Amino acid sequence: MDHFQYHQGQLQAEEVPIAEIAAAVGTPFYVYSTATLTRHYRLFDEALAGMDHLVCYAMKACGNLAVVALMARLGAGVDVVSMGEYLKARAAGMPGERIVFSGVGKTREEMRVALEGGIRQFNVESEPEMRALSEVASAMGRVAPITIRVNPDVDARTHEKIATGKKENKFGIPIGRAREVYAEAAALPGLEVVGIDVHIGSQLTELAPFGAAYAKVAELTGLLRADGHDIRRLDLGGGLGIPYERSNSAPPQPVEYGEVIRRSVGHLGCEIEIEPGRLIAGNAGLLVSRVIYVKEGEDRRFLILDAAMNDLIRPAMYAAHHDVVPVIEPAAGVEQLPADLVGPVCETGDTFARQRPMPPLAEGDLVAFRSAGAYGAVMASEYNARPLIPEVLVDGHQFAVIRARPSYDEMVNRDTLPPWM
């Protein structure tokens, strides 16, 4: 469920008409709903009720300061994967003890900054990283709390670019070698082993792969405890999928996912962490765009929009589907005709949808891409020298720009000529 619905024929974000935001900030733009973000966070929090837990929002999905600040106020933690995300989380008011640091290539500088600023744990992904972290922490007179990310060799049954839990993927250490690696970690002076981490992929639409991975983690917990490690925390990653197509059957709900967690690891007495990103932010955001032209091609109709692949890369990158709806509600029973939805960027890949049934639309009309709150704005670029588009947050009847559109001057002047030119 989200808070983007038609009221009296107008698409609204909570109580604010989308057309009103478009008039104020211009198109294209992203808009997020506070109520939807809040609801989705709470669904996870409630799904883990009765277990000691922390929902660590994966801010890579939507890293705007205001969104992370909202999560901090709701009591969430955060999963960060770079120094930039770490610093943004701190700037958003996220306490260090609620920040987990993931990622296969943490640099020594990133480690230092996080140790200095406060950190809940590092999710370590390799032996060289583990040794580097121990050195950095020791040099600072600190001990770094760690989990080790294990690769359980489980097929997440999702798009190949976002599956992470198979042995051929770059993530984690092979689960079969975990005991050996934990033994080394325990012997390193700068580290304190606190638990195990696993994350098998994103946009999972079935629970079975989670169940399979978590069962392996449960078994490993027993083995590592027998080896003398104090395994008290399990970070179970993110990955629960969202319904991108309203017409399709919906993926499992957080409460069902919570049941899988309870069944597989609930008896171990560990503190549970999860790192959902997409499910919290995805359906809490729209990308709003205007039709520039309607072009009749030889055999098809093109709706040329002012949003492009640089603003929302998911269709070009993963062949992802986003529902696109008109901001003015079409009359009931109006005929839908196929159209190709494209942006102005100079490559054929700049196509959002092919032969998509759409109600009649004309130049100047507004449309909204649904499910664009996750991996939308954060993956945007300035390709074709198109400035990054603004982000807007709605809360009830109020809205605010939470990232302004840069001016053309700002964009142009960021580049400089070398002294010899």
Residues with a catalytic annotation lie at: 346
Residue 102 interacting with ligand LLP (CB under 6 A): yes
The residue count for binding ligand LLP (CB under 6 A) is 21
Q: Among residues 25 and 83, whose Cβ is nearest to ligand LLP?
A: 83
User: Can you tell me which of 11, 61, 213, 236 binds ligand LLP, judged by CB under 6 A?
Assistant: 61
Paired residues of 123 in beta bridges: 147
Selected range binding ligand LLP among 57-65, 177-185, 188-196, 257-265, rule: CB under 6 A? 57-65
3-state helix, strand, coil in the chain (%, to 5): 35, 25, 40
Residue 195 interacting with ligand LLP (CB under 6 A): no
Selected range binding ligand LLP among 47-55, 206-214, 252-260, 275-283, rule: CB under 6 A? 275-283
Residues 342, 356: Cα–Cα separation, whole Å: 11
Identity of the residue numbered 358? M
User: Can you tell me which of 28, 63, 145, 238 binds ligand LLP, judged by CB under 6 A?
Assistant: 238
Find the shortest distance in angstroms from Cβ 419 to ligand LLP: 39
CA angle 314, 342, 7 (to 5 degrees): 80
Q: Among residues 236 and 339, whose Cβ is nearest to ligand LLP?
A: 236
Residue 283 interacting with ligand LLP (CB under 6 A): no
Q: Which of 128, 134, 169 is nearest to 150 (CA)?
A: 169
Q: Coil, strand, or helix at residue 139?
A: helix
Residues 54, 395: Cα–Cα separation, whole Å: 25
DSSP per-residue letters across 136-164? HHHHTT--EEEEEEEE------S-GGGB-
Binding mask 348-377 for ligand LLP (x = CB under 6 A): --------------------------xx--
Residue 78 interacting with ligand LLP (CB under 6 A): no
Residue 258 interacting with ligand LLP (CB under 6 A): no
Q: Evaluate whether 388 touches 402 at the Cβ level (below 8 Å).
A: no
State how beta strands 398-403 and 391-395 pair.
antiparallel
Q: Among residues 3 and 199, whose Cβ is nearest to ligand LLP?
A: 199
> 332: exposed, middle or buried (C-beta count within 10 Å: 0-12, 13-18, 19+)?
exposed
User: Can you tell me which of 113, 162, 181, 292 binds ligand LLP, judged by CB under 6 A?
Assistant: 162
Q: Among residues 6 and 318, whose Cβ is nearest to ligand LLP?
A: 318
Residues 368, 387: Cα–Cα separation, whole Å: 19
Selected range binding ligand LLP among 58-66, 82-90, 138-146, 225-233, rule: CB under 6 A? 58-66
Residues 384, 310: Cα–Cα separation, whole Å: 8
Question: Encoding tokens for residue 328?
Answer: 């003015």
Which helix (H) or strand (E) element contains residue 227? none
Residue 190 interacting with ligand LLP (CB under 6 A): no
Residue 239 interacting with ligand LLP (CB under 6 A): yes
Paired residues of 13 in beta bridges: 4, 16
Find the shortest distance in angstroms from Cβ 129 to ligand LLP: 14
User: Can you tell me which of 58, 312, 325, 368 binds ligand LLP, judged by CB under 6 A?
Assistant: 58
Number of H helices, E strands in the chain: 12, 21
- Return residues touching ligand LLP (CB under 6 A): 58, 60-61, 79, 102, 162, 199, 202-203, 237-239, 275-279, 314, 318, 374-375
